[in-house]
Structure 1
Amino acid sequence: MEEKLSTHDFYYDLPKELIAQTPLEPRDSSRLMILNKKTGAVEHKHFYDVIEYLNPGDCLVLNDSRVLPARLYGVKEDTGAKVEFLLLTHRESDVWEVLTGPGKRAKPGTRFVFGDGLLHAEILEIIEGGNRLAQFHYEGNFYEILDQIGQMPLPHYITEELKDKERYQNVYSKEIGSAAAPTAGLHFTPELLERIREKGVKVAFVTLHVGLGTFRPVTVEKITEHKMHSEHYSISKETADAINETKRSGGRVIAVGTTSCRTLESIVQKEGCIRESSGWTDIFIYPGYTFRALDCLVTNFHLPESTLIMLVSALAGYEHTMKAYRTAVEEKYRFFSFGDAMLIQ
Structure 2
Amino acid sequence: MTATAFDFYLPSELNASHPPERRGIRRDHVRLMVLNKNTGSVSHDKFFRLADYLKPGDLVVMNNSRTVPAILKAGLYRNTKRIQQEVEIRLARRLNEETWDALVVTEEARLGDILQFSSDLSAVVIDMKEGSPLKTILFSQKGTDLFNSIYAIGEPVRYEYIHNKWGLDYYQTVFASHPGSVEMPSAGRAFSWELLFTLQRKGIELDFIQLHTGLSYLLDDELETSPDDNYEEYHLSEKTIEKIRKTKASGGRVIAVGTTVVRALESAGITGALNGITNLYINQNFKLKMVDGIITGLHEPKASHLDMLTAFVPQNLLWNAYQEAIGERYLWHEFGDMNLIV
TM-score, with length taken from structure 1: 0.89
Partner residue of 1:232? 233
Report the CA distance shift for 1:330/1:93 in structure 2 as closer, same or farther (over 3 A).
Answer: closer
* Pick aligned residue for 1:322 from 299, 319, 324: 319
State the superposition RMSD in angstroms. 2.4
Distance 1:62 1:94 in 2: 27
* Pick aligned residue for 1:283 from 280, 302, 325: 280
Q: Secondary structure at the match of 2:242?
A: helix
Report the CA distance shift for 1:79/1:101 in structure 2 as closer, same or farther (over 3 A).
Answer: same
The CA deviation at 1:112 is 2.2
The superposition leaves residues 97-153 of structure 1 with CA deviations (integer Å, 9 ceiling, x where unpaired) of: 111101x222112222224x2322221220131211112225982111111111011
Report the CA distance shift for 1:219/1:247 in structure 2 as closer, same or farther (over 3 A).
Answer: farther
* Pick aligned residue for 1:312 from 300, 306, 309: 309
TM-score, with length taken from structure 2: 0.90
Distance 1:214 1:197 in 2: 37
1:260 aligns with 2:261: yes
Report the CA distance shift for 1:259/1:215 in structure 2 as closer, same or farther (over 3 A).
Answer: farther
Partner residue of 2:48? 48
- 1:207 is matched by which residue type in structure 2? Q
The superposition leaves residues 209-243 of structure 1 with CA deviations (integer Å, 9 ceiling, x where unpaired) of: 111248899989xxxx8644111111101211211
The structure whose residues are more often helix, as a share, is: 1
Partner residue of 1:169? 172
Mapping of 1:22-101 within 5 angstroms? 22-25=18-21, 26-77=26-77, 78-101=82-105
Runs of 4+ in 1 over 3 A off after TM superposition: 213-220, 225-228
Structure 2: gaps (5+ residues): none
- 2:231 is matched by which residue type in structure 1? S
Structure 1: gaps (5+ residues): none
Deviates more, 1:89-98 or 1:258-267: 89-98
The superposition leaves residues 9-57 of structure 1 with CA deviations (integer Å, 9 ceiling, x where unpaired) of: 6001001111111110211010000001111111110000111111111
Distance 2:193 2:203 in 1: 16
Report the CA distance shift for 1:51/1:329 in structure 2 as closer, same or farther (over 3 A).
Answer: same
The CA deviation at 1:76 is 2.2
Q: 1:217–1:306: 8 Å Cα contact kept in structure 2? A: no
Distance 1:49 1:219 in 2: 41
Partner residue of 2:184? 181
Report the CA distance shift for 1:85/1:217 in structure 2 as closer, same or farther (over 3 A).
Answer: closer
Distance 1:217 1:305 in 2: 16
Partner residue of 1:107? 110
Report the CA distance shift for 1:230/1:18 in structure 2 as closer, same or farther (over 3 A).
Answer: same
The CA deviation at 1:317 is 1.1
Distance 1:298 1:31 in 2: 12
